[in-house]
Amino acid sequence: MRNFFKIFITFSTLLALVIVVSACSDKEENSASKGSDEDNGVNIRINNDPDFLDPHMAQASITFQMILNIFDGLLVGDTDGSLQPALAEDYTISEDGLTYTFTLRDGVTFHNGDPLTVEDVQYSFERLMGVETGEALSSNFENVASLDAPDENTFIITLKEPNSAFLSYLTALHSAIIPKNNDGKHNEKPIGTGPFQFSNYSPENNMVLVKNENYWKEGLPYLDTVTFTFQPDDQTALLSLQAGEMDIVAVGSHRVPEVEKDFNIEYQDSNSVLLVGYNQLKEPFNDIRVRQAINYAVNKDDVIEAAFSGYATKLGSNMSPAAGEVHKEGLEDAYARDVEKAKQLLAEAGYKDGFSTTLSISSHAALYTNVAQVVVENLKEVGIDVEIEVVEWGVWLEKIYQGRDYDMTIIDFTGELSPYETIERYQSDASGNLFNFSNEEFDGLMKDVLTESNVDRQIEIYHRAQEILSEDAAAVYMADYQIIWALNPKLEGYKLYPYFFHDLSEVKWKK
C-alpha cells in the first residue's frame, strides 16, 4: 500500500506542480472571454487559425473574415458587392484610365492613437509593391507606375496601363492601410483603423479584439469585445452554440432542423464555385465531346441535394449569381442531365464503352468526399468508371494544383469582389489554370476587358467569357453553396457580404 501511495503522491505532486507553475506564469493574454450580453461581447466560432495577422501577407478567406474588423482600405466592398469609399472619402479616375486620385478622410486615427497620414497610405502600397525590399507581397500592383502624395489629403496612383479591375484591389482585402511606425511588427501586433483593435492571439485557441473607441464611423461599434474561438470540430461547435458558449456558428445544412427553432438563421451565398475539373492536356479530356458528355452526365440537383440538403444555387459557369449583374444568367441548365446524349457524345469521341479514370480530392473537407460519391455514381451510368483517390491538402496543392498531375478533381474556389479575379485563371498562361484550359477568344476577351472603361461593355465581355467556359465545358460547374449561420437570437445588426467577412461593427445585443 505504501508504494501505491508513493506513485499516487508522485503524480499528484506533479499535477499540483503544473497547476502552480501555470498559475504563476503571467498569462492574462490567454483569457478566453466567453461572449455574452452581460459583458457586451460576442464569441464567434472559426474553423481554423489565421494564416497571418499581417494583412499584406494573409491570404486565407478565414483570416480576412476576422481581420477585416481591424483594418480598412481606401475602399470597401459593400453588402451588394459594390465598392464604397472607406479611408478615401472620394476618388476620381482620369479620362485615360491611368490616374487615380484619392482624397483621404479627415480625423481618422490608428489604434495606437496616431492620425492616419498620406505617408502611411504611401507606405502601405510601397510595402505591397516591395519598393524598398525588392520583394513584392502582391502582384496586383505590378501595373503601378508611380505613387504620389502632392498634399496632406491627396494620394495619387498612376498606372502603366489602364486596368478596369484595379479599383477592386483597393479594399482592405488586398491593400489594407497600416501605420508606417509599426513596421516590422505588423504580424505580431497588427494595428489598423477598423472598428475593433487587436488585443491578443493565442494559437489554436482564440483571437480577441476590443472596441476601437475612436473609430471614424461615429457611434460605432456597439460591442466591447469580440472573441474568435478556433474550433475545428463542427459537432463540438454546434454543442457550444446550444450551451450558450458561442454566439455565432456556421452549421452544416443537415443540422438546420436542430437549430432553426432556437436561433436566428442567416443564409449567405458564399459566392464560391464548386466544380469538377479535369486535365485538358490529358486524354480523353482534351476532347470537347468527352467534357460535354461528363457535363451531361453529372446531375447538379443530386449533388446539391446530397451534399448541401438543397441549400445551394446551381451554377452554369465560373460565376455565382451572388456576383450581381456581371453573372450571366441561363447557363445553369445548358447541360441539363441527359444520359443518352452523354453516351452518344462519348461514342462519337471513340469511347463507346466508356473509360476508366481517377478523381483526386483533398481530405481536408468532408464536402469533397460527399460530392465525389454523387459524381462517381452519375458518371458510372454513362459508362465512365471513376476511382476516388483521397489525398492530403498539402499533396493536393503540390501535385494537382501546382503540378497539374491528375485526371479529374473537385474543388471550390472562393469568389472575389472583382469578376476579373474570379475567372482570370482560365487564361491559357494563368498560374492558377490547373485545368490546362485554353481558348483564344477567352484570352482575348480577358485582355480587352482590362482596357475597357465602359462598365456596360465590361459586363458584356464578362458574360461572353462565362458563355465560353460553358460552351467549351471547361469544367463541370456545380454549385455555389450557402453558408448557414446560426446566431444567438438576442443579437442584431449582423450583415451578410458576398465575401467572407464577419462585420461586427453594427452588431449589438437587443435590450
Partner 1 sequence: MAYFIRKLVLLLVTLVLVSLITFAVFQIIPGDPIRIMLGPEADEARIETLEKQLGLDKPLHEQYGKWISGVVTGDLGDSIRFSRPVSELIADRLPVTLSLALMSVAIVIIVSIPLGIYIARRHNTLGDVIFSSLTQVGMAVPSFWLGMLLMLYLGMTFSFFSISGYIPWSESITGALGSLLLPAITIAIPQIAISFRYIRNTIIEQLQLDYVRTIRSKGIGERFVIYKHVLRNAMIPILTVFGLIFAEVVAGTIIVEQVFGLPGFGSLLITSISYRDFPLVQGIVMYITIVVVVINFLIDILYAILDPRIRLG
Q: Which of residues 125-164 bind partner 1 (CB under 8 A)?
A: 130, 133, 135-140, 142
**Do residues 182 and 112 touch, judged by C-beta distance below 8 A?**
yes
Nine-digit cell string for 1: 500500500
Alpha carbon of residue 392 to chain centroid = 20
Binding of partner 1 by 257 (CB under 8 A): no
State the minimum distance, in angstroms, from the CB of residue 420 to partner 1. Answer: 14
State the minimum distance, in angstroms, from the CB of residue 310 to partner 1. Answer: 27
Residue from 39, 59, 333, 490 in contact with partner 1 (CB under 8 A): 59
Per CB under 8 A, contacts with partner 1 among 176-205 are 187-188, 202-205
Part in contact with partner 1 (CB under 8 A); list of ranges 5-13, 296-304, 310-318, 502-510: 5-13
Angle at 396 between CA 50 and CA 228, to 5 degrees: 15
Place of cell 476579373: 420
Q: β-strand 206-211 against 225-230: which pairing, if any? A: antiparallel
List the one residue out of 192, 266, 220 whose CA is nearest residue 44: 266
CA atoms within 13 A on the CB side of 348: 13
Which residue, 235 or 428, has its beta carbon nearer to partner 1?
235
Q: Indicate the residue type of 37.
A: D
Residue from 7, 38, 340, 440 in contact with partner 1 (CB under 8 A): 7
Residue from 22, 84, 94, 112 in contact with partner 1 (CB under 8 A): 22
**Do residues 91 and 511 touch, judged by C-beta distance below 8 A?**
no
Residue from 36, 37, 40, 60 in contact with partner 1 (CB under 8 A): 60
Contacts 24+ apart (CB under 8 A), 164-167: 164/97, 164/420, 164/449, 164/450, 164/451, 164/452, 164/453, 164/458, 165/418, 165/419, 165/420, 165/421, 165/449, 165/450, 166/100, 167/75, 167/83, 167/100
Part in contact with partner 1 (CB under 8 A); list of ranges 22-30, 80-88, 108-116, 503-511: 22-30
List the one residue out of 186, 121, 123, 130 whose CA is nearest residue 155: 121
Which residue, 23 or 213, has its beta carbon nearer to partner 1?
23
Which residue, 84 or 133, has its beta carbon nearer to partner 1?
133
State the minimum distance, in angstroms, from the CB of residue 30 to partner 1. Answer: 5
Q: How far apart are the first and last CA of the chain?
A: 61
Residue from 115, 232, 310, 489 in contact with partner 1 (CB under 8 A): 232
State the minimum distance, in angstroms, from the CB of residue 307 to partner 1. Answer: 20
Binding of partner 1 by 264 (CB under 8 A): no
Binding of partner 1 by 411 (CB under 8 A): yes
Which residue, 288 or 395, has its beta carbon nearer to partner 1?
395
Part in contact with partner 1 (CB under 8 A); list of ranges 9-17, 108-116, 263-271, 456-464: 9-17
Calpha distance 506→509 (Å, rounded): 10
**Do residues 42 and 504 touch, judged by C-beta distance below 8 A?**
yes
Residue from 230, 278, 335, 481 in contact with partner 1 (CB under 8 A): 230
Per CB under 8 A, contacts with partner 1 among 418-457 are 431-432
Which residue, 25 or 151, has its beta carbon nearer to partner 1?
25
State the minimum distance, in angstroms, from the CB of residue 173 to partner 1. Answer: 11
State the minimum distance, in angstroms, from the CB of residue 486 to partner 1. Answer: 15
Which residues contact residue 506 at a Cβ distance below 8 angstroms, ignoring those fewer than 6 apart?
A: 220, 221, 222, 493, 495
State the minimum distance, in angstroms, from the CB of residue 435 to partner 1. Answer: 12
Per CB under 8 A, contacts with partner 1 among 75-114 are none
Which residue, 349 or 395, has its beta carbon nearer to partner 1?
395
**Do residues 317 and 473 touch, judged by C-beta distance below 8 A?**
no
User: Which x/- pattern over 360-399 shows residues binding partner 1 (rule: CB under 8 A)?
Assistant: ----x---------------------------xxxx-xxx
Per CB under 8 A, contacts with partner 1 among 39-58 are 49, 51-52, 57
Which residues contact residue 100 at a Cβ distance below 8 angstroms, ignoring those fewer than 6 apart?
A: 91, 92, 93, 94, 156, 157, 158, 159, 166, 167
Binding of partner 1 by 206 (CB under 8 A): yes
Which residues contact residue 254 at a Cβ distance below 8 angstroms, ignoring those fewer than 6 apart?
A: 309
Per CB under 8 A, contacts with partner 1 among 298-357 are none
Which residue, 64 or 91, has its beta carbon nearer to partner 1?
64
> How many residues make contact with partner 1 (CB under 8 A)?
73
**Do residues 272 and 318 touch, judged by C-beta distance below 8 A?**
no
